[in-house]
Structure 1
Amino acid sequence: MVDGILIGLGVLCVAYFIVIVVYAGIGTSFAFIWLFFAALLLFLVYGRWYYSRNMDRIPRWVPVSVVTTCVAGVVALAVLCVLVFLGAASSDKKNLDYVIVLGARVKEHTVSNSLKKRLDKAIEYAEENPDTILVLSGGRGPGEDVSEAEVMRQYLEYNGVRPEQLLIEDRSVSTVENIAYSKVVIEEHRNRDKKELVPLTRRTTSVPYAIAPDKPLEIGVLTSNFHIYRARLTAEKWGIENVYGISADSDPVLFIHLCVRECASIVKDRLMGNM
C-alpha cells in the first residue's frame, strides 16, 4: 500500500515535470526539482524493499533517521506552502500611500505573461485609488536591453495611468533590492514633497493649538500571488512597518511549481537574513 502511494506520487512528479517543460520550456527555473522528488520517492520504495530483506544487517537507527528526515521535510514544505497560499489569498487594502510594483523579466521591450498580470493589477488599483503613488521597481538584468521599470512605465502610461502617479526604481535585480531601493525612492519623494510645502504664516492669535502627528505611512507590495508572503516579510525586515500585500494572478498551470520554488526562496532568504 505504502509502496503504491510512493510510486504513484513519483509518477505524478514526472508527469508534472513533462507538463512544465512542454508548457513553459526546458529552461523553466527550478523545473528539475520534480525529477528530484520522483527519484527520492523511488529511492524510498527501493529502501523499504532492501531493508525488509536485510533487517538483520542494517541498524535500526538508519531507517528511523531516513523516515524522520523525510517527515520533517514534508511538514516543513507543507507549512511553507500554507504560508504562501495565505499570502496569495490576501485582500487588497484601499487608498495606500504608495504601492511598490515588483518587476519581472522583460525581453525585447515586451512584458512577460507574469509581468503583464502584475501591471494589469496595478492599472486596476491605480484606477480605483487615484491618490496612490506606484513605485515601479526593476532594474536591467542579463539579456535585457532596458530596465524592467522603464518597460513597466511605458505599459502603464499607454494604458492610461497618469505619469505623475508613477515613480521609477531601476537599480534592483532581486526581491530584496526591489524593497530596499524602493524604500529609498519613497523617502526621497516624501522629502521632496515636504520641501515644496508652503510654510504657514506666523499666527498672531494667542490661542494655543496642537500639531497633529503625521499619519502613519501605508505601503503596499504588488506582486504575483505566490510571491506575496516573502515580499511582505522582506519589506518588514527593511523597516516598512505598515505593509500590505496586493496579489496579482499567476499562471494556473505553473502555480504549484511556483509555490514550491517560492518555498525554496523563502528558506534561502531566511538563512541569509533577508527576511
Structure 2
Amino acid sequence: MKRDRLIPVEKSKKVIYLDPRGRGVDQKHYGAMALYVLAVLCALYCVGIGLFVGFGSYFFLIWGAIAAFCAAWGWILTHKSVQERIPRWIRMTFRGLVAAGMLLLLILEGMIFGQFGAKAEAGADYVIILGAQWKTTGPSYVLQKRLDKAIEYLNANPETKVIVSGGQGYNEPVSEAEGMKGYLADAGIDPERILAEDASTNTTQNLIYSGELLNKSEDSVVVVTNNFHMFRALAIAKKQGYLHVEGLSSGTFPLTVPNNLLREAFGIVKDFMANNL
C-alpha cells in the first residue's frame, strides 16, 4: 500500500530508468567508431601509396602514424577506466591542441587551394621550372607534368627563355637540371633558350640560385610547378625579391593529392619558421 501511494499505478509507466553507464557513452562510442574507420582508411592509403606510387619520399608513412593515432584514441574512448586515469587537464589540453591543429590545417589548405589553378600571362621574359626527382627512367611523374606544362608555354611564347632548376640528389643518376634540359631539347625547345641551375636542393634554393641568372626587379618571370606546390613557391619567390612573378600550375597524380596537400601544409609551416615566406 505504501508503494502505491509513492508511485500511483496510473503513473508508473512514466518512470524512467537511467543507464548505469552514465551520460554521453553512446556519443563516445560513435566517436570511437568514426576514429576506427578513419584509422582503416589512413592505413589503406599509406599502403596504397607505397605499393602503387613508390618511395620518392617517405612522407607517406605519416598516414600510418595517423592511423595508429586514431586507433589508439578510439580505443581510449571505449575504455572508461582508462579515461579516468588520465587527468582532466591533460584531456582538455589534448582536445584543444587537436582542435587548434585542425583549424590551422584548414587555413593552410585554403591558402594552397587559392593558387591551385594559377595561370600566367603570355610574353614572360623567363620561365623557371622547379626541380623534382629525376629517376633512372627519366623524370618522375610530378616533374614530367611540370615540364610538359612549361613546354606548352614555351611553344606559345618563342621569345621566352627557360631556367631549369635542381641539383642531384643521392638517389638521382644526374642532376635534375641536366635531365630537364635534355627533356626540353628532345621536345624541340632550342637549347640556346635553356639555362641550367644545378646546385639547389630545395624550393628556396631553386629560386635563390635561379634569380642569379636574371634580373629579379625587372624581368617578368613565370614559375612552373605542380598545383599543390604553387602557393609556397610564389610566396618564396616574392620573399626573394621577384617583383614580376606569376605562377603556372601543372597537375599531379590523383592518388597522391591528399598526401601532397598534407605535406605542403608542413612545408609552409617549416618555411615560415625559417623566414623563407
Partner SS, residue 18 of structure 1? helix
Say which structure, 1 or 2, has more relative contact order (CA 8 Å, 6+ apart).
1
Task: Flag the structure with larger Rg.
Answer: 2
Contact 1:137 1:148 (C-alpha < 8 Å) held by counterparts: yes
Residue 202 of structure 2 corresponds to 174
Q: SS at 1:160's partner residue? A: coil
**Alignment size in residue pairs:** 248
1:234 aligns with 2:236: yes
Give yes or no for the alignment of 1:45 onto 2:58. no
Instruction: Tell me, in whole angstroms, the C-alpha distance in 1 between the residues paired with 2:183 and 2:211.
Output: 23
Shift, 1:86, TM fit: 2.0
2:44 paired with 1:15: yes
2:245 matched residue in structure 1: 243
* Structure 2 letter corresponding to 1:49: T
Q: Taking structure 1 as reference, are residues 61 and 113 closer, same or farther at Cα in structure 2, changes over 3 Å only? A: same
Aligned AA (1:13): C
Deviations 1:151-194 (A, max 9, x none): 1111111111122322211111111110000000113xx9xxxx
The percentage of aligned residue pairs carrying the same residue is 37
Give 1:6's match in structure 2, choosing from 10, 31, 35. Answer: 35
Render the CA deviation track for 1:41-89: whole Å, top value 9, x for unaligned: 1222233334x43666544322211111111111111221222222222
Give distance in 1, aligned partners of 2:53 and 2:198: 27
Deviation at 1:263, TM superposition (A): 1.2
Task: Rate the CA distance shift 1:144–1:96 in 2: closer, same or farther, 3 A.
Answer: same
Q: Which residue identity is paired with 2:120?
A: D
Q: Which amino acid aligns with 1:25?
A: G
Distance 1:240 1:75 in 2: 31
> Is the contact between residue 76 and residue 82 of structure 2 (CA under 8 Å) also seen in structure 1?
no
The Cα offsets for residues 85-118 of structure 1, whole Å up to 9 and x where unpaired, read as 2222222332222111111121337222221111
* Alignment partner, residue 14 of structure 2: none
Separation in 1 of the partners of 2:168 and 2:192?
A: 23
Change (3 A) 1:43 1:239: same
In 1, the alpha carbon distance for the partners of 2:32 and 2:78 equals 9
5+ residue gaps, structure 2, are 1-29
